[in-house]
Amino acid sequence: MPEKAPIKTFSDLEVYQSSHNLAMKIFVLTKIFPVEERYSLTDQIRRSSRSVAANIAEGWGKRIFPLQFKKHLVDSLGSLEETKSWLKFSKDCDYLQSADYEELFSAYDNLGGKIWKLHEVWKS
């Protein structure tokens, strides 16, 4: 089994990579949302999805203080749950197809588990 490359930057974290990729999927999917949602639903779901990744990155920058890193992972989980709520609104308003909703919701559930696992194992 090949060795994993050492983690040197936040970009090397699997949870960061996944959260960034999911935020980009949401960005693409929301391009077709109605213009009247531009400053509400579209803006909110884009902001919360990006916040998942941004909190991981910010926490990584503070990782020499383990509790600070863990706090940012918890903040990331909060943004993740907010994103899931906006996804549900998007589906219920018929802006998001059920298949896209299910794929994203499942991916965010999976990511949430990984972020929580990282939180649990990070040295404190």
- Residue 124 is predicted with a pLDDT of 59
The answer on pLDDT for 3 being more than 80 is no
What confidence tier does 2 reach under pLDDT thresholds 50, 70, 90?
Answer: low
Task: Tell me what pLDDT residue 6 has.
Answer: 84
pLDDT tops 70 at residue 1: no
What is the pTM for the complete model shown? 0.93
Kindly report, residue by residue over 24-74, the tens digit of the pLDDT.
999 999 999 999 999 999 999 999 999 999 999 999 999 999 999 999 999
How much of the chain, in percent, has pLDDT values that exceed 90?
91
Q: Give the separation between CA 94 and CA 88, rounded to whole angstroms.
A: 10
Domains of the chain: 13-121 (1.20.1440.60)
d(CA 73, CA 11): 15
